[in-house]
Amino acid sequence: MSNDQIPGYTMGEDSVQEASISMEEFEQLKQSVMFTEEDEEYLQEAGDILESQIDDILDVWYGFVADHDFLVYYFSQPDGEPIDEYLDRVRDRFGQWIRDTCDTPYDEAWLDYQFEIARRHHRTKKNQTDDVDAVPNIDLRYVIAFIYPITATIREFLDDGEHDSDKVDAMYHAWFKSVVLQVTLWSYPYVHDGDW
Amino acid sequence: MSNDQIPGYTMGEDSVQEASISMEEFEQLKQSVMFTEEDEEYLQEAGDILESQIDDILDVWYGFVADHDFLVYYFSQPDGEPIDEYLDRVRDRFGQWIRDTCDTPYDEAWLDYQFEIARRHHRTKKNQTDDVDAVPNIDLRYVIAFIYPITATIREFLDDGEHDSDKVDAMYHAWFKSVVLQVTLWSYPYVHDGDW
Ligand code: HEM
Ligand code: HEM
């Protein structure tokens, strides 16, 4: 599926506001998660391995959400009805996110879009992209908490039997760093001015 | 070193305010990082392995901070001078934190103290415990980012040559979940009312 066929996916479009930090500040954040050029290469390799498995990965993640009412809640109307169209549309963008996470190096368009994803989780912009009437905000605590499942569950998909375990580990750690990096950026709109 | 000899360490004391969430909400957070009773047991075993290595672990972590001026900054006066006494006192509490992280299950006193650690990183209460005049706030982005180094660097210490790699992995993952869980709780005072 090419990008412009994914409803609501707008990386690189003019409608996306500029990032709230400079590329220099972004460099420091990368250093604080120990993210290096080697990680960029490992992520590219990971992307090749994951591409054909994207649907299976999304099944695992969506299954995890589906198993917990207090998580399905965020895809639901305030009265409790999950919105299937919302789940489906976000799923396509989530698939593209796997590709984008592996499509290093991260440039300004990528960084800008992280702040857009942040706003879409936060009440600033949640629900607008898909024009739905779901609950207004995803509580930040679950976004941070998801660092664990979104990291840990990827390892089995990276381990495709064609790479030795050191290589799988290196790709896995590059993924782990990237997820922490992105969730860090996504916390921005939730935080008091000057505290982030 | 017993707890009451660690300056500023106050877990279980009356001075610590009650947690901002109930034990039931805490349960949901544990579920969202996939934290189970098995993880509690693995952490206890990890504690036995780490106890004698606490100083070496802290050398690694403090070394990482020391290598980055933009991180040492948070232990420094606004004009840029690092405060050695502050670094030392926090180091002792950080050592105790390793023990507490492994001392499962987590009870109400533990949960209450997480919100205290949160306030101590945030401008709500930073610097008060050690009566120092360092910069007033630790920016949340670095606290979340540290999930990576604080997790990844522990593995070599868990791998003491006496446990098979599956067991080391299990302890490592329990540690990873706990770090994510705690950083999630520590984000609380940074976040807009109702968005957390
Ligand atoms: C590591 C944590 C997470 C990752 C990697 C992640 C990933 C994503 C991605 C890639 C998108 C689509 C972005 C776009 O529009 O292009 C998205 C949107 C969304 N996510 Fe997450 N997410 C995370 C945490 C959560 C949590 C904890 C929930 C709550 C159960 C959640 C619920 C949603 C919802 C409801 C949307 C649609 C937001 C909108 O209205 O535009 N996400 N997420
Ligand atoms: C996973 C992330 C982190 C962990 C596990 C951690 C752990 C701790 C612990 C256990 C304490 C002592 C708590 C107590 O008073 O009992 C502490 C305090 C402190 N930490 Fe962190 N920390 C993290 C992130 C950071 C970052 C990114 C910085 C900035 C470089 C930082 C700087 C400090 C400072 C300055 C204090 C003293 C705060 C005060 O004035 O009371 N920490 N940290």
**What is the pLDDT at residue A161?**
85
pLDDT digits (tens, 9 = 90+) for B122-178: 999 999 999 999 999 999 999 999 999 999 999 999 998 889 999 999 999 999 999
**What is the pLDDT at residue A3?**
54
CB contact at 8 A, B122 and A194: no
Parent domain of B154: 21-190
Is a pLDDT exceeding 60 seen at residue B81? yes
User: Which residues of chain A are within 8 Å of residue B149 when distances are taken between CB atoms?
Assistant: 32-34
Is a pLDDT exceeding 70 seen at residue B3? no
Is a pLDDT exceeding 70 seen at residue B1? no
Gap between the Cα atoms of A114 and A28, Å rounded: 16
**What is the pLDDT at residue A140?**
98
pLDDT digits (tens, 9 = 90+) for A124-152: 999 999 999 999 999 999 999 999 999 99
Does B4 fall in a domain? Answer: no
Domains identified in chain A, total number:
1
Distance of CA A63 from the midpoint of ligand 2 (Å): 35
Q: Place B80 in a pLDDT band, splitting at 50, 70 and 90.
A: confident
Distance of CA A125 from the midpoint of ligand 1 (Å): 12
Does the N-terminal peptide bond of residue B7 adopt cis geometry, omega within 30 degrees of 0?
Answer: no
Does A5 fall in a domain? Answer: no
Does B100 fall in a domain? Answer: yes
C-alpha torsion angle, residues B179, B184, B185, B187 (rounded to 10): 120
Gap between the Cα atoms of B34 and B178, Å rounded: 10
Kindly report the CATH number assigned to the domain that includes residue A71.
Answer: 1.10.490.10
Does B151 fall in a domain? Answer: yes
Q: Do B183 and A33 touch (CB under 8 A)?
A: no
Does A163 fall in a domain? Answer: yes
Does A16 fall in a domain? Answer: no
User: Which residues of chain B are within 8 Å of residue A137 when distances are taken between CB atoms?
Assistant: 194-195
Does A86 fall in a domain? Answer: yes
CB A117 near ligand 1, within 6 Å: yes
ipTM > 0.90, yes or no: yes
Is a pLDDT exceeding 50 seen at residue B53? yes
Average pLDDT over residues B52-80: 97
CB A90 near ligand 1, within 6 Å: yes
Low-confidence stretches of chain A (pLDDT < 50) are 1-2
pLDDT digits (tens, 9 = 90+) for A66-80: 999 999 999 999 988
B132 phi and psi angles, rounded to 5 deg: -115, 165
CB B8 near ligand 2, within 6 Å: yes
Q: Do B152 and A31 touch (CB under 8 A)?
A: no
pTM greater than 0.80 (yes/no): yes
CB contact at 8 A, A148 and B177: yes
Does A10 fall in a domain? Answer: no
